[in-house]
A and B are shown apart, each in its own frame.
Chain A
Amino acid sequence: MVVAIAVVWEGGKALFALPSYQLPHLHEIAADFLREGAGGERWLWIMTQNAGYTALESLIGFALGGVTGLVLAIGFAHSRWLERGLLPYVVGSQTVPILAIAPMVVVWLGTSWFSKAVIAAYLTFFPVTVNMSRGLRAVDPDALALMHALAASSRQILFKLRFPAALPYLFTALRISATASVIGAIVGELPVGSRFGMGVVIINAAQYYNWRPANLWAAILVSAVIGIVFYHAVAAVERRVVSGSRTAPAV
């Protein structure tokens, strides 16, 4: 797969005679990691530090958004009324471009990691709410009748039936949220005032793009890797938690 991408990449570059400022050679991107930055540190190390910072923000945002999404979903599943009242706003929140909201959040909450985590959470909670409120309702009627026949309380029905039955839905949502949280954190780092993270690296690299195009490509590569690692981490947890017959096919 990696070889195929490399062949298409270099083949395309040769075929359309693309100059390096449009599409650098792969070895140029690789070499960029070994280049020394202004502070005397190699870019591999600079990228690693910033990527770690972004990953941490994403992780906190992912957790924050996951919990928020879950609480909303449980509320919606329990009360049609609540759903009817709040769902339009939840949907509306996602139609507003995140790029427009991010600077405001940074102004409100400061340029620390927290504002980035909140922006990541903003992108994360939505898939969880939508999928989970569906999953919590999509319970086999007989499984529910069984619970009623056994005089289960609504709390027991939630924790012993609805929630475990909805786990495959939850993980489908979490896989989407995992990559979205990284996007959110990076977007949160773009506004002026941020000092660390892949968003900052990308902004700087974009400014010096004509001079050193491989730097931006390297930053994009690293950002993608964070998202991919997150996705697979969620998928790994899913395999452990959800029993074999119930795992949703990989997206």
Chain B
Amino acid sequence: MGSPIVDLAGVAKTFESRAGATEALRAVSLSVDAGEFVSVIGPSGCGKSSLLRIVGDLVEPSAGVVRVKGKSARQARLDRDYGIVFQTPVLYDWRTVLENVQLPLELAGRPRAERLQRPRALLRLVGLDEFAGHYPWQLSGGMQQRVSIARALALNPSILLMDEPFGALDEMTRERLNQELLQVCAETAATVLFVTHSIAEAVFLSTRIVVMSPRPGGIERVVTVDLPRPRVGAIRADPRFFELVTTVRQSLREDPGLAGDRAGPGGR
């Protein structure tokens, strides 16, 4: 298949509010091929989350065209082509771990046999099959996020949208989950669009990194990560890994006017 799985052309977003209009995204064009792992990185408020939500048809673009598998983003959403993972796990407290992973299959009206088997297999994949009967609040943050990834994979989506999924986790858990995510993606062959604040995480995971400029967000630069795949933890010590981290860091231009007070989330 030569045609890209996600194709954005001149996408812009302006949020209207009583305080006035805020231009979040300006003229973003990007093509993602099947099987790619594309990270979006940029300073806080650069609209990278909005970009992800525009691809997932959760936010309407103010201008531009979004094509997903040759369809409109809306049609792709209705066809359930997306799996989504948020920064917080967004698990439903009243459902067990297993029932949370079953949710997408229930909503899609899949047959009973599939609703029982597929979530089991996914929980095995993320190493949580023993916890199937637990409730989310009985699990650690890292485990909850793994459940959330299993849930995102339940309908075997062709596109996985991940909005800073490991941003709230400690560094060690994050590195372990990065490794696991690559294994999971290798087994499911999903295309991944991944928003992150962490340069190292982006370099470790991605085939390409989209570096965004400060608000209004646009694409500053696209860095191709030519590290061999499959990737293992040792690659973090590779000189090429450091080169790429440096390249991305230099591309990340801080908004000069706001550099000082923007430290917060960007520093994670």
Chain A contact residues, CB within 8 Å of chain B: 140, 142-143, 145-152, 156, 160-161, 164-165, 167, 242-246
Contacts and interface: CB of A to CB of B under 8 A. Distances in A.
A149 B94 CA distance: 20
B80 A150 contact: yes
Contact of A149 (B56, B135, B137): B56
Contact of B104 (A150, A167, A242, A243): A150
Contacts of B107: 147, 150-152, 156, 160
Interface pairs A-B: 9 shortest CB-CB: A245-B137, A149-B84, A164-B94, A142-B90, A142-B86, A152-B107, A151-B78, A150-B107, A150-B104
Contact of B84 (A146, A164, A245): A146
B82 interface: yes
Contacts of B137: 243-245
B161 interface: yes
B80 A151 contact: yes
B90 A246 contact: no
Contacts of A242: 94
Contact of B77 (A143, A151, A156): A151
Given A151-B78, A160-B103, A146 B93 contact: no
Contacts of A149: 56, 58, 77, 82, 84, 161
Nearest to B93: A246
Contact of A145 (B79, B80, B86, B155): B86
A160 B106 contact: yes
User: Mostly helix, strand, loop or mixed at chain A's interface?
Assistant: helix
B255 to A, nearest CB: 26
Contacts of B86: 142, 145-146
Interface in B91-127: 92-94, 103-104, 106-108
A145 B216 CA distance: 24
A161 B106 CA distance: 13
A148 B88 CA distance: 17
Nearest to A156: B107
User: Mostly helix, strand, loop or mixed at chain B's interface?
Assistant: loop
Contacts of B104: 150
Given A151-B108, A164-B94, A244-B135, 18 more contacts: A140-B90, A143-B90, A146-B90, A147-B107, A148-B58, A149-B56, A149-B77, A150-B104, A150-B155, A151-B78, A151-B80, A151-B107, A160-B106, A161-B92, A242-B94, A243-B93, A243-B135, A246-B94
B94 A167 contact: yes
Nearest to B91: A143
Contacts of B93: 243, 245-246
Contacts of B77: 148-149, 151
Nearest to B105: A150
A246 B138 CA distance: 12
Nearest to A157: B107
30 contacts: A140-B90, A142-B86, A143-B92, A145-B58, A145-B86, A148-B58, A149-B58, A149-B77, A150-B80, A150-B103, A150-B107, A150-B108, A150-B155, A151-B77, A151-B78, A151-B107, A152-B107, A156-B107, A160-B106, A160-B107, A161-B92, A164-B94, A165-B92, A167-B94, A243-B93, A243-B137, A245-B93, A245-B137, A246-B93, A246-B94
Contacts of A244: 135, 137
Given A146-B84, A148-B77, A243-B135, A164 B58 contact: no
Contacts of A165: 92, 94
Contacts of B57: 148
B99 to A, nearest CB: 10
